[in-house]
């Protein structure tokens, strides 16, 4: 998120660092090739109501703004690092994520394109948290995008760290696997917990489940990583990083969300 005339300040909680400030400014102060992994979800420019950020830039302004921030992410990311960028369009603005990816081609390789499924129906059975929409033009959107971006396109990952057991156990020997695991693929079903009021998701309109950054960290596969989230929000990436055994740097412009992230980290008894 962004906010004008806000002087950055930082503080540590255990092994983690929180910076209250505009990430377009703060990232410039981080040394190059500093992060093993960047996991983040910027505002989607869909008119979402945040505490202070106005999510309604003109499309070209939004794309230019985010491309500039992503270029700074590239600078602070190690050559063998991974950027996991979670973003979504909407039924009325479906092109936005893909416009962004086209513009980022001069900065990154799109190594993996993962579909994050939040709810799904198989036959007549539904799974996950379903938030209905009222429309006579569009079907319900059950997914968001998780783009795995790297500098080279050939960063080694650990697919089986997020693998799933074989249904046909004879495949273990046939595929010469030592474990009963196969690649999960590029469709991840990670539902939200059902909530009935905003306070149950920290009064933030754009949180993601903790399992999402945890799986990103496992897929990248580096032990004790240094992880940066330039759009920290309520701190979910830092909580996941702590549980994974890494060190995190979270950047957030909104003091209210910084307070929530701080409380979440401190609750982990750091």
Q: How many CB atoms are located within 10 Å of the residue 54 CB? A: 13
Mean pLDDT in order along the chain per 10 residues (270 residues):
62 96 96 98 75 73 95 98 94 90 97 96 89 86 95 97 95 89 96 65 68 98 98 96 98 94 88
At residue 23, what are phi and psi to the nearest 5 degrees?
-65, -25
Nearest CA to 104 out of 126, 87, 125 is that of 87
Q: What is the H or E stretch that residue 99 is in?
A: helix 96-103
CA distances from 20 to 37, 108, 142 (A): 20, 27, 32
Q: Sheet of 9-13: strands edge to edge?
A: 9-13, 16-20, 247-252, 226-229, 35-40, 77-87, 143-150, 109-117, 187-189
Q: How far is CA 155 from the centre of its chain?
A: 18
The CA distance from 243 to 258, in Å, is 19
- pLDDT at position 201: 53
In the chain, the domains with their CATH numbers are 9-266 (3.40.50.150)
- pLDDT at position 199: 55
């Amino acid at each position: 998120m962004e906010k004008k005339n806000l002087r950055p300040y930082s503080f540590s909680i255990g092994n983690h660092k929180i910076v209250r400030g505009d990430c377009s400014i703060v990232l410039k102060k981080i040394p190059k090739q500093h992060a093993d992994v960047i996991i983040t979800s910027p505002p989607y420019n869909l008119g979402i109501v945040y505490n202070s950020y106005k999510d309604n830039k003109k499309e070209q302004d939004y794309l230019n703004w985010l491309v500039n921030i992503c270029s700074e992410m590239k600078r602070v990311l190690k050559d063998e690092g991974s950027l996991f960028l979670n973003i979504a369009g909407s039924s009325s603005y479906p092109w936005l994520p893909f416009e962004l990816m086209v513009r980022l081609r001069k900065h990154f390789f799109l190594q993996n394109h993962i579909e994050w499924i939040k709810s799904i129906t198989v036959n007549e059975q539904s799974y996950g948290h379903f938030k209905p929409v009222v429309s006579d033009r569009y079907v319900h959107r059950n997914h968001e995008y998780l783009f795995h971006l790297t500098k080279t396109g050939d960063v080694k990952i650990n697919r089986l760290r997020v693998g799933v057991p074989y249904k046909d156990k004879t495949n273990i020997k046939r595929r010469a696997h030592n474990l009963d695991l196969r690649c999960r693929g590029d469709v991840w079903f990670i539902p939200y917990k059902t909530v009935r009021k905003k306070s149950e998701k920290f009064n933030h309109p754009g949180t993601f489940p903790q399992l999402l950054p945890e799986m990103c960290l496992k897929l990248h596969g580096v032990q004790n990583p240094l992880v940066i989230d330039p759009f920290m929000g309520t701190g979910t990436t830092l909580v996941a990083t702590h549980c994974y055994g890494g060190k995190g740097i979270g950047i957030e412009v909104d003091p209210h969300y910084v307070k929530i992230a701080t409380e979440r980290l401190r609750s982990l008894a750091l």
